[in-house]
Amino acid sequence: MATVTFHGAAQEVTGSCHLINIPGQAKFLLDCGMHQGGDAIERIGAEQFSFDPSHINFVILSHAHLDHSGLLPKLVANGFDGPVYCSTATTDLLPIMLDDAAGLYFRDIERENEKRERRGQDPVTPEYTEADVKQVLALCHGLAYNEPHTEQHGVSICLRDAGHILGSAIVEVSFDERGHPKKLVFSGDLGKQNSALMNDPDIVTDANLLLMESTYGDRDHRTLDNSLEQIAQVLSETWDAGGNVMIPAFAVGRTQELLYYLGQLHQQDRLAPWQIFLDSPMAIKVTEVYDRWLHTMDCKDVRALCETDKSFLKDFLPRLQTTTTTDESMSINKIKKGAIIIAGSGMCTGGRIRHHIKHRIWDKRNTLIFAGFQARGTLGRILVDGAKRIKLFGDEYMVRARIETINGFSAHAGQSELVQWASHFTSQPQLCLVHGEPEAQDALATRLWQEKGIEAKIPQLNQTIAF
């Protein structure tokens, strides 16, 4: 009988990785993501596969975010050489994501080894190389939405639009097991309905096994109108206080949506004369990819303002300045007031946002806006939970800046939307909740049962379930 083993994102939000075993036919992974939070060298070094990567026939990638894709280079370094199936748009985004992550990782190792050399310690050996990253990209096969592809091991793969970020996919896997047809559906990360740029998630109605994310399984988001009002008010009050605004944002998805919302405020003449900085080389590259795929998105108001040879950012938010070099980034710190700074990483685990926080978190005139989920163990979560002091780059800082959370801008479906999406399945599949913290999963499981009579399992790490 076919089985699924949960090697990540089991009662946690990051590290998505699920091993499907169809005896005598195929072994494959749904995602191969890294955990977020903590030191990158220690984190990647600690990620050990509890299966033999050389025995994996193929990988199906739901989308490009690193908590779903970030361990692909290590998988290759440990012997995997099969195809990686993903959406066509994901093949455009993945090189940016993996190259950036690898660059940061190798630079961290170089700095660490310099310290170790001075101490007479053995150097750290990287868990993967640049060649492994290139090999991952060479193994990628882009699939169009809604067009089934039969893999050489007799497994049919069909990707649907998940509405989370550009290229995000709901994965449908169909196969015959001893003459009996079976179907597995993996939601990936589901987007919320009526998102600014993304289409609503596609509806699926049939499966034997459903793996569904549960990131926001314990709550619904504020409405978009309320969230726009909230950010407009926060920006206005920070402007009046003579401060600056910092917004940590993931390079893929969250950044583009934030720019769209700021563009909306600008188009409505509701944005004070802020200097707006996109201080993320990776996010700038990703936004250029979004430009190329703009025709597939749900944003007629943006397209109407755009000329075919221009970026929607330049047309929709002309006050935006992009900063790519380190010197340009550092120069932002000289601005005393009136700057909106959007930078990665989204959970403040690395990237330029940490430097901006260092320069501004101790000033009560400034505001730090969180517009997405903050996983346990990350600096973002520590700040959201009300820390009064934080440590950055070896120094301690008082937290005097205003901390605001605006969850209406999330790229994930809220509880009610998850319940609604699951209720469309008429085949009564076995349902397992993944990609969520225990409290969120318990709340979602309770509501699914009470309102829809749907029983949901909450797998533990490394647990195996037959279907």
Which domains are present in the chain? 3-219+411-466 (3.60.15.10), 224-409 (3.40.50.10890)
- Which residues lie closer than 8 Å to 217 by C-beta, 6 or more apart? 415, 418, 433, 436, 440, 441, 443, 444, 445
358 phi, psi to nearest 5 deg: -55, -40
CB atoms within 10 A of CB 147: 9
20 phi, psi to nearest 5 deg: -105, 130
In this prediction, residue 38 carries a pLDDT of 72
Helical segments of 368-422, H only:
379-384, 415-422
| Contact between 132 and 73 (Cβ < 8 Å) | yes
In this prediction, residue 130 carries a pLDDT of 97
Q: Which two tokens stand for residue 342?
A: 């959007």
Task: Give the pLDDT band (50/70/90) at residue 299.
Answer: low
Q: 3-class DSSP state for residue 453?
A: coil
pLDDT of 290 above 80 = yes
Task: Give the pLDDT band (50/70/90) at residue 448.
Answer: very high
- CA 104 to centroid of chain Cα atoms: 17
User: What distances in angstroms separate CA 158 from CA 62, 161, 169, 219, one per listed residue?
Assistant: 11, 10, 9, 30
In this prediction, residue 313 carries a pLDDT of 65
Give the model confidence (pLDDT) of 206-261 as tens digits: 999 999 999 999 999 888 888 889 999 999 999 999 999 999 998 898 899 899 88
pLDDT of 314 above 80 = no
- Which residues lie closer than 8 Å to 41 by C-beta, 6 or more apart? 105, 108, 109, 112, 124
User: What distances in angstroms separate CA 162 from CA 9, 91, 175, 291, 302, one per listed residue?
Assistant: 18, 16, 22, 19, 21
CB atoms within 10 A of CB 410: 22
Task: Give the pLDDT band (50/70/90) at residue 305.
Answer: low
Q: How far is Cα 275 from Cα 320, in angstroms, rounded to an integer?
A: 7
422 closest CA partner among 390, 457, 395, 393: 457
Task: Give the pLDDT band (50/70/90) at residue 450.
Answer: very high
Q: How far is Cα 145 from Cα 160, in angstroms, rounded to an integer?
A: 5
Q: Which two tokens stand for residue 399?
A: 């937290």
In this prediction, residue 311 carries a pLDDT of 65
Residues comprising the chain, all counted: 467
347 closest CA partner among 382, 395, 312: 382
Task: Give the pLDDT band (50/70/90) at residue 267.
Answer: confident
Q: How far is Cα 315 from Cα 336, in angstroms, rounded to an integer?
A: 27
In this prediction, residue 320 carries a pLDDT of 93
| Contact between 202 and 421 (Cβ < 8 Å) | no
pLDDT of 307 above 80 = no
**For residue 8, what are the β-bridge partners?**
17
| Contact between 315 and 303 (Cβ < 8 Å) | no
Q: How far is Cα 112 from Cα 123, in angstroms, rounded to an integer?
A: 8
Q: How far is Cα 285 from Cα 98, in angstroms, rounded to an integer?
A: 13
Pairing of the two strands 169-177 and 156-161: antiparallel
Q: How far is Cα 452 from Cα 37, in angstroms, rounded to an integer?
A: 36
Task: Give the pLDDT band (50/70/90) at residue 301.
Answer: low
CA triplet 461, 372, 433: central angle to 5 degrees? 30
The amino acid at residue 11 is: Q
Instruction: Quote the strand ranges of 311-444, DSSP E.
Output: 320-322, 339-343, 367-370, 389-392, 395-398, 402-405, 430-434
User: What distances in angstroms separate CA 223 from CA 118, 378, 408, one per listed residue?
Assistant: 55, 26, 6
User: What distances in angstroms separate CA 423 from CA 279, 416, 452, 456, one per listed residue?
Assistant: 41, 11, 7, 12
Range in 13-17, 141-145, 311-315 with the lowest mean pLDDT: 311-315
